[in-house]
Amino acid sequence: MDGLLSKLRSLDAYPKVNEDFYSRTLSGGAITLASSFIMLLLFVSELRTHLPRSDLRLSVHSCGLRTI
């Protein structure tokens, strides 16, 4: 468990303060992981919206239409 926490701590992509004085934190690693996951979900969602679908079918029903 301690190894997992140290790996998560090393993921902190947004450390504060000058490079000589910063320390990577567990919360920073968790925020980095969560924000990366959300960005990936948003990217895939937008990609699926804009890619053409090959299974799209158009169906026209004429029942219920009247001509005048």
- Distance (Å, rounded) from C-alpha 22 to C-alpha 15? 6
Give 23's contacts (C-beta < 8 A, 6+ positions apart).
15
- Distance (Å, rounded) from C-alpha 13 to C-alpha 4? 17
Q: According to the model, what pLDDT value does residue 3 have?
A: 82
- Distance (Å, rounded) from C-alpha 62 to C-alpha 64? 6
Q: What is the pLDDT of residues 1-51, one digit of tens each?
A: 778 877 777 777 666 666 666 677 888 888 889 999 999 999 999 998 888
Whole-model pTM: value is 0.52
Task: Please answer whether residues 28 and 12 qualify as being in contact, where contact means their C-beta atoms are separated by less than 8 angstroms.
Answer: yes
Q: According to the model, what pLDDT value does residue 46 have?
A: 92
Q: According to the model, what pLDDT value does residue 34 have?
A: 93
Q: According to the model, what pLDDT value does residue 36 have?
A: 93
